[in-house]
Amino acid sequence: MEETSPGWELYRTFLEVTRAGSLSGAARSLGLTQPTVGRHVDALEHALGLSLFMRTQQGLSPTEAALALRPHAEALEATCAALLRTASSQGEGVRGTVRVTASDVVSVEVLPSIIANLNAKYPNLTIELVPSNRMHDLLRRDADIAVRMQRPVQGVLVARHIGAIELGIYAHRRYLKRRGTPASLAELANHALIGYDRETAFIRSMKQQVPWMRRESFALRTDNDLTALAVLRAGFGIGVCQVGLARRNRALVRLFENEVALQLDTWVAMHEGLRDTPRCRVVFDALVRGLDEYVNGH
């Protein structure tokens, strides 16, 4: 390995090639030319003394060395992004960038009004909103603040418990008019059910409470929660919906309220090193207030 350390731009290109699987795909993502991307890869391989990619019929496949380097490059990427967010906040008042992550449904259906109010009050504040059901690492600064559906276990996080987001079984009035209202849980087998495709840890825990929800019973399967919500609102069939969201749509009818009431335990968390940072503090507090109002139906 050369004594001069490779620059960040080489690692950034390396990451994009691993994600895209090709020089052309990485070039489009980075806004560079394909030859430039190729030169970056060659320069990084030369500097590290390693072969990072193998050419296959499907494109570029990362070597074992590349797979071992990838998490470290991703950590460097997160650190660089956090550095820029911190630099943008320098100056008086609440200003700069705060990166927030939450589940797909919460990001699209719950947070927009909270963020809009923040923008009205703090026009110099920039929000980076990352909708994802994946757990982002706050310690690695993948995000500054996270809305999570389980209790954070890392001791260096500041966390506020919001409460439980209640889930229920719903159908659109159009669907019930067309197919009839099931009189019992057993009758759901005769209806068009909306459910998951691939089983997750949360789904396994949910199945203990609703064992009648089985993959083979679903008329529509999707692992995208926003898609499931959209087809439910369209009148496709019967599915799970957050009670707070259903309150906004009078056409959605709750079924078996006394028999089925699932819960998503909800927390807002950030790294304790950000607790005294004005931009993060105001966003954290606003999320806590807004989500509390949502959970409690205000």
Q: pLDDT 10s digit of each residue in the chain, 298 long?
A: 445 678 888 988 999 999 898 899 889 988 889 889 989 999 998 889 889 998 887 788 899 999 998 988 888 887 777 777 676 666 556 788 899 999 999 999 999 999 999 999 999 899 999 998 877 666 667 788 999 888 877 666 889 999 999 999 999 999 999 999 999 998 998 999 999 998 877 777 777 777 777 888 899 999 999 999 999 999 999 999 999 999 999 999 999 999 888 888 999 998 888 888 888 899 999 999 999 999 987 6
Rounded distance between C-alpha atoms, residue 75 and residue 11, angstroms: 11
**Do 95-160+272-295 and 164-264 come out as alike in CATH topology?**
yes
What pLDDT is stored for residue 73 in this prediction? 86
What pLDDT is stored for residue 75 in this prediction? 83
- Alpha carbon of 177 to those of 234, 237, 251: distances in Å? 13, 11, 11
Predicted structure pTM score: 0.68
What pLDDT is stored for residue 128 in this prediction? 92
What pLDDT is stored for residue 78 in this prediction? 79
Rounded distance between C-alpha atoms, residue 100 and residue 207, angstroms: 30
Maximum CA extent, the chain: 74
Every domain of the chain and the residues it spans: 8-85, 95-160+272-295, 164-264
What pLDDT is stored for residue 139 in this prediction? 65
Rounded distance between C-alpha atoms, residue 151 and residue 42, angstroms: 44
Question: 8-85: which CATH architecture?
Answer: Orthogonal Bundle (1.10)
Cβ atoms of 267 and 162 within 8 Å: the answer is yes
What pLDDT is stored for residue 271 in this prediction? 84
Question: 164-264: which CATH architecture?
Answer: 3-Layer(aba) Sandwich (3.40)
Rounded distance between C-alpha atoms, residue 19 and residue 62, angstroms: 10
95-160+272-295, what's its fold? D-Maltodextrin-Binding Protein; domain 2 (3.40.190)
Question: What proportions of the chain, in percent to the nearest 5, are helix, strand and coil?
Answer: 45, 25, 30
